[in-house]
């Protein structure tokens, strides 16, 4: 499997998921971000973003 060349192609791939914590798409099978971090040291989404999406600490949803 190869990484799509564009984000538009990636969005067609069923392995593509969205991380709301870091406001970025990633490939869950390859465990790769599909978008680069912005580099702004004050960006609440990119600061502290781990190298791999699988390392993101997910927010737990409260049970109702």
pLDDT digits (tens, 9 = 90+) for 8-36: 887 888 899 999 999 999 999 999 999 99
- Residue 59 counted as domain residue: no
How many alpha carbons fall within 13 Å on the CB side of residue 52? 6
How many alpha carbons fall within 13 Å on the CB side of residue 1? 12
From the CB of residue 51, how many other CB atoms can be counted at a distance below 10 Å?
Answer: 9
- Residue 2 counted as domain residue: no
Confidence of residue 1 (pLDDT cuts 50, 70, 90): very low
- Residue 60 counted as domain residue: no
Q: Token pair of 41, please? A: 């040291």
- Residue 26 counted as domain residue: yes
Q: Is the pLDDT of residue 61 over 70?
A: no
Helix (H) or strand (E) holding 17: strand 16-19
pLDDT per position as a tens digit, 46-57 = 988 999 999 997
> Total domain count for the chain?
1
The domain in which residue 31 lies consists of 7-54
Q: Token pair of 21, please? A: 């914590």
- Residue 43 counted as domain residue: yes
- Residue 62 counted as domain residue: no
- Residue 61 counted as domain residue: no
């Amino acid at each position: 499997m190869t990484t799509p060349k564009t984000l538009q192609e990636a969005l067609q791939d069923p392995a593509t998921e969205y991380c709301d914590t870091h406001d970025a798409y990633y490939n869950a099978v390859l465990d790769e971000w599909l978008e680069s971090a912005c580099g702004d040291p004050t960006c609440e989404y990119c600061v502290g973003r781990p190298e791999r999406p699988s390392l993101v600490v997910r927010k737990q949803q409260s049970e109702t």
